[in-house]
């Protein structure tokens, strides 16, 4: 069987497992799986920028969080229907990306990282400081879940909703990275000057990747607002951005499946370790150090090396 | 028709004039070699032509069209292609992907999210013909980083040629190649269509005289001689600073 056939079999098996999951585990774990799905989408969206375009952002929580807050503000403050707020949240995330991209794209490497970080902190400080609008660090409870003809108010039905949304978003991202546009992004990651010499408008490609990445992060953020029925400034905080980076790096940048696995693992560990100790961020830091030292290309990189070693034997 | 006009172009780095008032006219279809010792400013001049470096003064025109302030990608779409002195490829992509990128660039692919299958087939066909021609037929599926140095140099040229440029800039295409590989590259460059204008930097004198219609010699940022092989060989100043040093 070819590698392509194997990955198809793998995808079908994973999908079957995900569909059957609520039958197999307690509702608590269905909720945990929902969070895994949402953060898998968030990590994949960051990887469009980090792994495919070669731009490391430390401000991705801004696009996630602005979508969450758009939902909360529209539903709680303006009384807009929760389902109608969903597209508005995606527009807000993409628009914020379109606004921030020209500023961030003036820099590369660690300077790009610092600018994206600073821009995200601006959004965070607005959410944190504008108490009359956002309740500051108390956050905004009372976010309702959308109603598309059936109720999403129980854990299992919301799980299937999240699975469908994340699945469609993942397929769209897969189509993007496999398109000529996706190939051009990888080319830009490898050599901007060569791509320019070949006639590509590098800036325009990076800009498009930035906005798309913000858009998909927005989908995750909107789902998370529904899931928790609550938003708070921690959705926009640097820890959230850093976690997403670690999810991508742990799983393996430059693939879509890697960040999804990394996200699922981090969400699981966070849940597990938080029940033992309050020092989750410390553990996260240790994970990051271990991965960069032992598996710089992430779990996917380890797996690929393992397969190659076997095929050489 | 004049393919490339370089009109009194200078480029300073800090206080140093890497290129100091160079003027050159290159005819369409001409093969011109740029000679000169290290530090003569040849690569900087190349960068100003391809747009990687903006000239401090002067004017550059491609087929009569002023490109002095154009971005590199715009120049590429106007029919200018170049190779780099230090191999500049896509180390973690496959050879096939690299060539497909080269084909898409000059074709003006813009944020192409969907590719019609017919065009995809055409592009794959074109890519494999190009690889065949440049002796890279068996390498399509390989990761660029794993190619030999000679293969990487050949891929450099193949990428530059993918868009069928009207003006090709080759920056030391045979640098670091074995004698056999050099013969191969020289043969392939000779076979390029005669309507393609080629400007190349070359250190190997034999290669230079074999490929060039005319030669221009640079020294310390200035043009000190221009002419055919006989004129260059007879030029005392060139003999002193360049040939004498060999």
pLDDT for B136-156, tens place per residue? 888 999 999 999 998 999 899
Residues B141 and B194 placed together within one structural domain of the fold:
no
User: pLDDT at residue B226 above 70?
Assistant: yes
Under a CB-based contact definition with an 8 Å cutoff, are residues A248 and A262 in contact?
yes
Q: Are residues B30 and B93 in the same domain?
A: no
Do residues B65 and B119 both lie within one domain? no
Q: If you average pLDDT over residues A204-232, what whole number do you get? A: 97
The mean pLDDT of A236-246, rounded to a whole number, is 92
Mean pLDDT of A298-309: 85
- CB contact under 8 Å between B89 and A198, yes or no, is no
Which residues does chain A have within 8 Å of residue B50's beta carbon, measured at their own beta carbons? Answer: 197
Last residue of a domain, one of B145, B162, B179: B162
Range of lowest pLDDT (A138-142, A181-185, A283-287)? A283-287
**Can you tell me the mean pLDDT for A198-202?**
93
pLDDT at A1: 60
At A150 the pLDDT is 84
Residue B100 has pLDDT above 90, yes or no: yes
Question: What range does the domain containing B58 cover?
Answer: 1-79+165-246
pLDDT at residue A166 tops 90:
yes
* pLDDT of B208 over the 50 cut: yes
Q: Assess whether B179 and B239 both reside in one domain.
A: yes
Does the beta-carbon distance from B111 to A193 stay under 8 Å?
A: no
Q: Please report the ipTM that was assigned to this predicted complex.
A: 0.88
Q: Rounded to an integer, what distance in angstroms lies between the CA atom of residue A48 and that of residue A220?
A: 14
Question: What Cα–Cα distance (Å) separates residue A25 from each residue in A21, A29, A33, A36, A62?
Answer: 6, 6, 10, 15, 33
Q: Please report the residues numbered 183 through 242 in chain B whose beta carbons come closer than 8 angstroms to any beta carbon of chain A.
A: none
Band (pLDDT 50/70/90 cuts) for residue B32 is very high
In contact, B156 and B87? CB cutoff 8 Å: yes
pLDDT confidence band for A231 (50 / 70 / 90): very high
**Which of the 8 DSSP states describes residue A124?**
H
Q: Are B48 and B34 in contact (CB under 8 A)?
A: no
**B246 has a pLDDT exceeding 50:** no
Asked if A181 and A191 touch (Cβ cutoff 8 Å), the reply is no
* Confidence band, pLDDT 50/70/90 cuts, at residue A284: confident
Read off the CATH number of the domain in which B206 is found. Answer: 3.40.50.300
The reply to whether B213 and B227 lie within a common domain is yes
Distance CA A213, CA A241 (A): 13
**Residue B170, min C-alpha distance to chain A (Å):** 12
Give me the mean pLDDT over the A269-284 stretch. 86
How far apart, in whole angstroms, are the C-alpha atoms of residue A300 and residue A259? 9
My answer on whether B170 and B158 are in the same domain is no
Mutate to test the interface with B, among A4, A191, A194 (most CBs of B within 10 A): A194
Q: Are residues B207 and B228 in the same domain?
A: yes
Task: Identify the domain boundary among B116, B136, B162.
Answer: B162
Query: Cβ of B57 under 8 Å from any chain A Cβ?
Result: no
Of the residues B162, B179, B209, the one at which a domain ends: B162
Question: What ranges do the domains of chain A cover?
Answer: 26-237
Same domain for B18 and B74, yes or no, is yes
Average pLDDT estimate for B90-110: 89
**B160-193 tens-digit pLDDT:** 999 889 999 999 998 888 898 899 889 989 989 9
Nearest CA in chain A to B90: A190
% of chain A with per-residue pLDDT over 90: 75
Q: Measure A190 CA to nearest chain B CA, in Å.
A: 5
Reported as a single tens digit per residue, the pLDDT across A18-74 is 999 998 999 999 999 999 999 999 999 999 999 999 999 999 999 999 999 999 999
- Does B122 share its domain with B236? no
A195–B108: do the CB atoms touch at under 8 Å?
no
- Total domains present in chain B: 2
Pair B129, B186 in one domain: no
Residue A130 pLDDT level (bands cut at 50, 70, 90): very high
Q: Is A245 helix (H, G, I), strand (E, B) or coil?
A: helix
**pLDDT at position B90:** 95
Q: Do A197 and B82 touch (CB under 8 A)?
A: yes
Compute the average pLDDT of residues A265-279. 88
Find the mean pLDDT for residues B187-212: 89
């Amino acid at each position: 069987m070819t590698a392509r056939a194997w990955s198809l079999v793998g995808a079908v098996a994973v999908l079957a497992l995900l569909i059957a999951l609520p039958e197999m585990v307690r509702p608590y774990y269905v909720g945990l799986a929902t969070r895994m799905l949402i953060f898998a989408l968030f990590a994949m969206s960051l990887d469009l920028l980090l792994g495919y375009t070669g731009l490391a952002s430390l401000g991705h929580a801004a696009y996630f969080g602005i979508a969450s807050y758009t939902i909360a503000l529209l539903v709680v403050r303006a009384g807009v229907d929760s389902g109608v707020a969903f597209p508005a949240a995606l527009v807000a995330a993409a628009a914020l990306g379109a606004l921030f991209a020209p500023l961030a794209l003036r820099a590369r490497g660690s300077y790009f990282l610092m600018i994206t970080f600073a821009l995200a902190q601006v959004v965070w400080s607005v959410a944190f400081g504008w108490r009359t609008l956002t309740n500051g660090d108390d956050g905004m409870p009372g976010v309702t879940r959308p109603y598309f003809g059936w109720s999403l108010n129980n854990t299992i039905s919301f799980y299937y909703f999240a699975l469908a949304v994340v699945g469609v978003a993942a397929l769209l991202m897969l189509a993007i990275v496999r398109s000529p546009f996706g190939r051009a992004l990888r080319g830009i990651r490898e050599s901007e000057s060569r791509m320019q010499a070949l006639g590509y408008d590098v800036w325009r490609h990076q800009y498009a990747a930035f906005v798309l990445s913000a858009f998909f992060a927005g989908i995750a953020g909107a789902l998370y607002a529904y899931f928790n029925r609550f938003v708070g400034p921690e959705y926009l905080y640097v820890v959230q951005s850093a976690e997403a980076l670690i999810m991508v790096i742990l799983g393996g940048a430059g693939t879509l499946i890697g960040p999804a696995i990394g996200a699922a693992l981090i969400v699981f560990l966070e849940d597990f370790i938080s029940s033992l100790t309050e020092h989750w961020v410390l553990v996260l830091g240790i994970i990051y150090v271990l991965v960069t030292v032992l598996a710089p290309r992430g779990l996917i990189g380890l797996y690929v090396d393992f397969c190659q070693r076997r095929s050489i034997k | 028709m004049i393919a490339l006009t370089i009109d009194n172009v200078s480029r300073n780095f800090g206080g140093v004039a890497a290129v100091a008032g160079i003027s050159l006219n290159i005819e369409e279809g001409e093969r011109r070699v740029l000679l000169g010792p290290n530090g003569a400013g040849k690569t900087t001049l190349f960068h100003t032509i391809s747009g990687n470096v903006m000239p401090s003064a002067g004017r550059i025109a491609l087929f009569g069209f002023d490109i002095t302030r154009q971005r590199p990608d715009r120049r590429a779409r106007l029919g200018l292609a170049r190779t780099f002195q230090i191999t500049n490829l896509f180390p973690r992509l496959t050879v096939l992907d690299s060539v497909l990128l080269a084909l898409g660039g000059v074709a003006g692919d813009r944020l192409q999210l969907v590719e019609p299958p017919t065009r995809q087939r055409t592009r794959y066909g074109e890519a494999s013909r190009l690889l065949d021609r440049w002796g890279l037929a068996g390498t399509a599926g390989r990761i660029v980083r794993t190619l030999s140095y000679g293969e990487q140099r050949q891929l450099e040229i193949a990428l530059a040629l993918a868009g069928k440029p009207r003006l090709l800039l080759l920056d030391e295409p045979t640098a670091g190649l074995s004698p056999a590989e050099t013969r191969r590259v020289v043969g392939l460059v000779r076979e390029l269509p005669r309507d393609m204008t080629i400007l190349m930097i070359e250190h190997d004198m034999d290669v230079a005289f074999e490929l060039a219609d005319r030669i221009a010699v640079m020294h310390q940022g200035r043009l000190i001689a221009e002419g055919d092989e006989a004129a260059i060989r007879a030029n005392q100043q060139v003999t002193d600073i360049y040939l004498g040093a060999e």
